[in-house]
Structure 1
Amino acid sequence: MRTRTISAAAVAAAIASVGIAGTATAAHDKNPSAQVATYAYELAPVQADTVANSQGSGSTRITALPNGKVQVKVQASGLAPGLPHAMHLHGVTDSADMGCPGPGADDGDGIVSVVDGLPFYGGILASLTTSGDTSEASALALDRFPVADAAGRISYTRTFDDATAWANADTAQVVVHGIDLNGDGTYDFGAGPSSLTSAAPLEATIPALCGGIAN
């Protein structure tokens, strides 16, 4: 398996080039106390069921703790087994967003790319790495994201400091990336490059699952 760490500058440039527009609303579960704000969502496929190996499922819980830390839990299945899956908290901090994209967000090529999804779920609030930095700078540090087991499952929990993620925990989306479109057990360039950078394959960055609330 080969993975690459891609410059966050490419991610930032892609985000900056896409406008944010639209509104949507949804409900979230009740908080267990006035001091702990927690939000639970289902994770649903972003891609149409005609996209090979794309129909996973899962759930996520985002908790804003009273000490200013954020805890994120992700349970997912149906992912590319044995491969790392970049995961992020996405959101829009200065206007309303549209939540999670669906298959109709593709630009006509039948695949919803990262850039196609940005107008819906916004930029990166936090990178859900397994260790080290959780900022946007680690957006594509694939060596520090969860790796799906042999059955394509991920079970992730991490508590970290991030003021922006904490402040926007109630309107964030969790996005899980990575689909082995040709099922060969690796992220390759068979489907072309990522919409963010020609240095990475589309398979490594394509959004697979999304869940959350639009503000």
Structure 2
Amino acid sequence: MRNAPRIIVATAAAFALALGGAATAYAAHDTNPSDRVASYSYSLDAIQPADVPGSGASGTTRVKALPNGKIQVTVEAWGLSPNLPHAMHLHGVPGDQADLGCPGPAAAGDDGVVSVVDGIPFYGSILTSLTWTGDTSPSSALALDRFAMSDADGYLYYQRTFTDIPGYTDAGTVQVVVHGIDFDGDGAYAFNADDPFSSRPSSLGAGIPLEATVPVLCGGIAN
């Protein structure tokens, strides 16, 4: 029987600080599909270059604005690293700054990987942490014990209805970003000095494994 995965959980506060706080205003979209319910569905597309191990995931997401200030977010993904939690967030760009949507493989740095920092100029900072339970602020950005887990086949399903998300204004102005790739397939987000990808630290800090924070899927406005 497979042992429970060893998960390296980075400091959520440091993760949130590196990404910056959420602003209170975001670029508007043209129209809502309904006066009462605004629903936006997007594909979740792979971010990483094809030669990055574990990069070939796919998925869909729906962000729905319900009456009384409630927001429902649904995420369904396939091909993720199995049996591991995957940090997920709503991202957005403040004010009049152009929202460039989701990065693709061309956004990879010299190391050949699209890191968290590489993605920020595209999709902006964290608005909401898509945890299963508890706090949803950027402070929970990497609270891996409260994010949805993929199953043994790499499938993940998530749905949660939120009320009064701070800094959030519109279901049509955000990106959903899914993180986490177990590059070496050892069942953990951890450093492995013998693997060319798992040996690398996150762009957020030398003590955080790249595996835990690397973005794998993104979908939303301006795709």
TM-score (norm 2): 0.86
Deviations 1:139-194 (A, max 9, x none): 00000000100110001100012444641321100000000111122112132211
Q: Could you tell me which of 138, 145, 156 is aligned with 2:140? A: 138
Count of residues paired in the alignment: 207
How far apart, in 2, do the equivalents of 1:78 and 1:57 lie? 7
Deviation (angstroms), 1:97: 1.6
| Per-residue Cα deviation, 1:86-111 (whole angstroms, up to 9, x for no partner) | 00000112222210000111112110
Residues 13, 141 of structure 2: 8 Å contact kept:
no
For residues 2-42 of structure 1, the C-alpha deviation after alignment (integer angstroms, 9 at most, x for no partner) is 224433432244224xxxxxxxxx999x72x3210110000
- Asked if 2 retains the 8 angstrom alpha-carbon contact of 1:64 and 1:166, the reply is no
How far residue 114 of structure 1 moved from its aligned partner, in angstroms, is 0.4
- Deviations 1:94-142 (Å, cap 9, x if unpaired)? 2222100001111121100001101100000100000111110100000
Aligned residue runs from structure 1 range 144-163, under 5 A: 144-163=146-165
1:194 matched residue in structure 2: 202
Percent identity, aligned pairs only, is: 58
Cα distance in 2 for partners of 1:177, 1:113 equals 10
SS in 1 for 2:127: strand
Letter in 2 for 1:76: A
Give yes or no for contact 2:61–2:74 (8 Å, CA) kept in 1: yes
Give the C-alpha shift of residue 59 in structure 1.
0.2
**Matched residue SS, 2:201:** coil
Give the counterpart letter for 1:14 in structure 2: A
Task: Map 1:52-201; keep pairs closer than 5 Å.
Answer: 52-94=53-95, 95-164=97-166, 166-190=168-192, 191=198, 192-201=200-209
Secondary structure class of the residue paired with 2:106: helix
- Structure 1 consecutive aligned stretches of length 4 or more whose deviation exceeds 4 Å: none
For residues 165 and 56 of structure 1, the distance between their equivalents in structure 2, rounded to whole angstroms, comes to: 29
Q: Secondary structure at the match of 1:157?
A: strand
Cα 1:12–1:132 shift into 2, 3 Å: closer
Please list every run of 5 or more consecutive structure 2 residues that lacks an aligned counterpart in the other structure.
Answer: 21-28, 193-197
From the superposition, tell whether residues 27 and 116 of structure 1 become closer, same or farther in structure 2 (CA, over 3 Å): farther
RMSD: 2.4
